[in-house]
Each structure stands twice: as structure tokens, then as C-alpha cells.
Amino acid sequence: MQIETRRRIADLTSNILNPFSVSLVIILLLSFKSTSTTPDALRWALILIAVSILPIFSVMVYLVRRGRLDGFFTDVRRQRTRVYLLAVAWAVIAGVIITCLGAPSVLIATFVAGLSAVIVFTCINLFWKISLHIAFVAASAAVLGILYWPIGMVSLVFLPLMGWARIEAGHHSVAQVATGAVLAAGIAVVAFYLFGLF
């Protein structure tokens, strides 16, 4: 396969399995897993999307349009720190909101895992660039493996695909991809264990 074709496939993979789209899928799956009726699942999914994804997405659109970010998933470490800090602040706010609204423990555990991961990644980003794309895929695979065992383990197929895509596109090294995957999955597993979810 030619280098240009491989690069295109890698970019397409990264764009399709970006953190926002992965988050949407996970929110839907976890909302259905943690509630007993479809209306409840849809209600929680909409609440979570409204308080977690839409605000961050909107701010990032604004920052990109104003030229304060090179792109949605910038490679510039200094710019990534801003995004991480925004994500930490908003995750705290969103976590408080969904807790006050009485969210199921699965959803709260997911927020705790996400907040913990973003804090760790923010600290790492001060001196090293770690792959957020692979982190979302790895944490999602871990959570789906726990909650939808054994069928949830099928989601593991996306890990090597995303890892290859980030390396092939030149965004991350093997070490950055591996570290992102291991840390994110580990944090998710610990959070779900502490919440007594497995």
C-alpha cells in the first residue's frame, strides 16, 4: 500500500474514531445499560451529551475559528494543555450536575474515570504528548468489556487500528500510544472497581 493511501486511511480512522464520536457511542451504550427503560436511557443520554460533549465541542469550535487552536485535535502540546484544563474544569461541573440529578452509578463512575484520566493526562502533557484518541478507545473498550462481557471485548479490535492510525499519521510515537492506552484502560478499570461495578 502506498504511503499516501496509508496516511489517508490513518487520518480517516482518526476522524471517525475521534474522542467526541467515541464518547457519543459510549454514552448511549452506558445509558441503556444503566437504566431499565428506553425513555430513561434516552433521557440520561441526552443529559450527558448536553452537559459533557456539547459544551466542550462548542468551546473548541470557537477556539479553532478564532485561531487559538490549530485544529480540533491539535498536535501543539501548549495548545493541548488549554484543552485539557478546559476538560478538567468542565468534567467537574458536569459530574456535579449529573450527581445532583441522580444519575445511575455506571454513569457517575464513567465521569469519575474520565475526570481522573484527564487530570493524569494534563500533568503528562506538561512534558510529553500522549494520545487522547487511543485513550478514549482503550477506556471505552475496558468499560464495554466490564459491562457487556463477553461481547464487549469485541471493541478491543479498535485498539490496534487506532494505535496504527495515530502512529502512521505521524501524530504520536509507539510509546505515546501504548502509554495512553494502558493508562486510560487502567484508570477506567480502577474507577469501576471502586464503584463496585465488577
pLDDT at 69: 79
91, 19 Cβ separation under 8 angstroms = no
User: Measured in whole angstroms, how far is the alpha carbon of residue 13 from the centre of its chain?
Assistant: 15
pLDDT at 1: 66
Cα Rg of the chain (Å, integer): 16
Mean pLDDT to the nearest integer, 83-96:
90
pLDDT at 137: 97
Q: Which residue bears the cell 502540546?
A: 77
Cell numbers placing 168? 502512521
**Collapsing DSSP states into helix, strand and coil, what is residue 38?**
helix
Name the nearest CA neighbour of 181 among 161, 152, 154, 151.
161
**Per-residue pLDDT reduced to its tens digit, 98-112:** 999 999 999 999 999
pLDDT at 25: 96
Domain encompassing residue 180: 3-194
Q: Based on the structure, what is the number of domains in the chain? A: 1
Which runs of E-coded beta strand occur in 61-177?
none
96, 175 Cβ separation under 8 angstroms = no
- Its pTM stands at 0.91
**Per-residue pLDDT reduced to its tens digit, 7-55:** 999 999 999 999 999 999 999 999 999 999 999 999 999 999 999 999 9
